[in-house]
Each structure stands twice: as structure tokens, then as C-alpha cells.
Amino acid sequence: MKTTMKAAVLKGLETIVMEEVPVPEPKSGQVLVQVKASALCGSDLAGYSGHHSMIKWPVILGHEASGIIAKCGPGVDNWKEDDLVVIEPLFTCRKCQACLSGKYNLCADLKFAGHQVNGSLAEYVIAESRFIHRKPENVSFEEAALTEPASSPLHAVERCGIRLGDFVVIIGCGVTGFFTMQYVLSKGAEVLITDPAEFKLKIAEELGATYTLNPEKVNLEERVKALTGGMGAGCVIEAVGISETLASTVSLVKRGGTIMLIGYSEKESESFDLSTVTLAELTVLGSLAYCNDFPAVLKLMSMGKVKIKPIISHRLPLERVEEGIQMMKREEEGLLKIVISYD
Ligand SMILES: [Zn+2]
Ligand SMILES: [Zn+2]
């Protein structure tokens, strides 16, 4: 086996350097995975721009990956070399109250690959053996790499308590919004999804949106009221994370309804009408990452119940990671998910 590997190392503010670094050694309970596909994420851009509290350079970015087991560390007996896997990129303490209660996504010492630990934008990456999952045969490495960004929306949707026939508003047609929409639709609810980018609304239609709306052209609150007999939506899912859209959720939801905040930005969001939360007895929920959600997502992918291909807009080789992040920074037209492929 090789002893060094190519890696895209975030070295400083807006500086990624391709370096030849030592192949890491899996410790007890860990595996070394040869990366076959690794996707770029908004949090990579945030880290690159110095706006992510968990990403400190120098670090190899990347937390959305699939690959082949290259080596098992001591004590790993349920996996073997050449197994095809999807990585749940977490490292947890296994000792805190959250870990002991099974809610490992709330671990007091939660670490992500590509954030506090070296990630998958390299030829090899380390993963915890208890956080890897077998890649279904009929799911490509590229699609499988999107299990991670598809899992946070599943975790969030499962927390919303959506029921057959509900009317749900999703704000934002990013990757998160698109996965969220597909899960909500599969729960038998109607979805109105919004975004100011017309190309994204077209993809939303392809993915089965009941209604799409461009808030720069049509008044969202009036449209929601018109479609719900004046009541408002049973559930509003905010998948952008800016104060303007966060503030709007309260006026879109019906009395007794639910607001889910998956959108996240490092900036403080100051405007949220808490008196209406009380007076309309709203349920306001947050959602962090995923916890035991990867198996369901992989099953849905294997069954063809969640579409991935329309969400992948670009493919680049490892050497062009920085270029991909720059494309995200420029918010290039037509850009959704960039997958780094290794062949
Ligand atoms: Zn991500
Ligand atoms: Zn813990």
C-alpha cells in the first residue's frame, strides 16, 4: 500500500493547497477508506471563508464520501478490506449523557471529518467502523456520497410529525431543500417550495413539487393563505438560514402548527416573532445532523424513492477542489452539488 496520498489541504483563509501527505493509520475501532467520491458542501465554503466555528486550518476538508475499505484498525472484525462503504463522518466520545442515551448527534464532544478531524477530500480518509454503512449495489459511489447531505433532512423531517394530507412550506431550493421536499412528499403531504432562482424551481418541479413559488415575483404569505383556505401551512421548514426567511416562517404557519429550522448560518438571526409562537401555540424545532438515519436514506436510494441525479450539477477531479469552492462562492448559475470523482 502507498504511504503517502494526495490531499486538498485548507492551509489558511481562502487557501487550499494540493499536498502529498502521509496516509493516516486507522486506530482501534477505525477503518481507512480509499475515497471513490466526495461531495463539496456549503460548510466547506464557510470554512474556506473563515466563517465556520468548527473548521480550523490546517485541515483536509470533506465529509460527504463513499469508498472502499483499504485497511481495518485493531478490533474491527465486522468489516474487511475491499468492502464498499458510505461514511457517516462523525467521531463521538461514547461517554457523555447524549452518547449514552443514543442521541450521538448531540455528543458533547462531537467531531466531524473535514471539520476538527481530517476529511475526505484526499485519496484516503479515516472513519469510525461503527459509523460506516454498506453501499447498496445499485447505488453508485457518486450517489452514495450524497447520503450525508440527504440524512440531515431526513432527521429533520422525521422530527416534524408530518401526516398524510398536510400542507407543508419549504423555504429554499438548495440541496437540503430538495431532499427535504422528497421526504415530505413521500409522507403524503403537499409541498409548496420557494426560491428566487428560477433554475432551482425547475428542478423542484422535476422532483415532484406540488407548488413552486419565486418570492421575488409572488407574495408567499398570500399564496399560502389562498392554498390553505386562509389557515396557513401545517408545517414550515426553513432551509436557508437567513433572518428574513426565518422571520417569515411565523406568518406562514397555521395556529398550532410546526416550524422546523434546518437552515443554518453563523450569523445571528435577530428577528423571530416569539409572541406569535405563544399566542398561536406553535412548535418551533431545530435539528442537528443525523442519528441512525443513514440506513433509511440508503434504503430509499436503493429503492429509487429519493432522486439524486438532478441534484448533482458538476463533477471535478480532486486537483480542482478549490475551483469548485470558488464556484460556490460566486453562486454560479446552475450550481447545486459538486462531486469530486477519483477515476
Ligand atoms: Zn455537508
Ligand atoms: Zn458523547
Q: How far apart are the first and last CA of the chain?
A: 18
- Report how far ligand 2's centroid is from the alpha carbon of 112 (Å): 13
Closest ligand by atom to 146 CA: 1
Residue 291 in any domain: the answer is no
- Report how far ligand 1's centroid is from the alpha carbon of 41 (Å): 4
Do 232 and 211 have their domain in common? yes
Residue 86 in any domain: the answer is yes
Residue 294 in any domain: the answer is no
Do 226 and 337 have their domain in common? no
Do 236 and 328 have their domain in common? no
CATH of the domain at 69: 3.90.180.10
Closest ligand by atom to 65 CA: 1
- pLDDT of amino acid 223: 98
Please say whether the beta carbons of 170 and 193 come within 8 A.
Answer: yes
Residue 295 in any domain: the answer is no
User: How many percent of the chain have pLDDT more than 90?
Assistant: 94
Do 9 and 141 have their domain in common? yes
Residue 212 in any domain: the answer is yes
Print the domain residue range for 213: 151-286
- Report how far ligand 2's centroid is from the alpha carbon of 94 (Å): 5
Residue 293 in any domain: the answer is no
Residue 297 in any domain: the answer is no
pLDDT in tens, 320-332: 999 999 999 999 9
Do 157 and 280 have their domain in common? yes
List residues, by chain if needed, whose CB lies under 5 Å from ion ligand 2. Answer: 92-93, 96, 99, 107
- Report how far ligand 2's centroid is from the alpha carbon of 65 (Å): 23
Closest ligand by atom to 103 CA: 2
Do 83 and 156 have their domain in common? no
- pLDDT of amino acid 170: 98
Q: Is the model's pLDDT at 264 over the cut of 90?
A: no
Closest ligand by atom to 47 CA: 1
Do 86 and 162 have their domain in common? no
Q: How far apart, in Å, are the Cα atoms of 279 and each of 5, 167, 238, 250, 283?
A: 58, 21, 21, 11, 11
pLDDT in tens, 107-166: 999 999 999 999 999 999 999 999 999 999 999 999 999 999 999 999 999 999 999 999
Residue 209 in any domain: the answer is yes
Number of domains forming the structure of the chain: 2
Sorted by sequence, the CB contacts under 8 Å of residue 247 that are 6+ apart come out as: 269, 271, 272, 273
Do 142 and 192 have their domain in common? no
Q: How far apart, in Å, are the Cα atoms of 58 and each of 61, 80, 116?
A: 9, 31, 10
pLDDT in tens, 36-68: 999 999 999 999 999 998 999 999 999 999 999
- Report how far ligand 2's centroid is from the alpha carbon of 147 (Å): 23
- Report how far ligand 2's centroid is from the alpha carbon of 201 (Å): 40
- Report how far ligand 2's centroid is from the alpha carbon of 59 (Å): 22
- pLDDT of amino acid 59: 98
pLDDT in tens, 267-290: 766 678 899 999 999 999 999 999
Do 330 and 272 have their domain in common? no
- Report how far ligand 2's centroid is from the alpha carbon of 292 (Å): 15
CATH of the domain at 215: 3.40.50.720
- Report how far ligand 2's centroid is from the alpha carbon of 104 (Å): 6
- Report how far ligand 2's centroid is from the alpha carbon of 287 (Å): 17
pTM score of the predicted model: 0.95
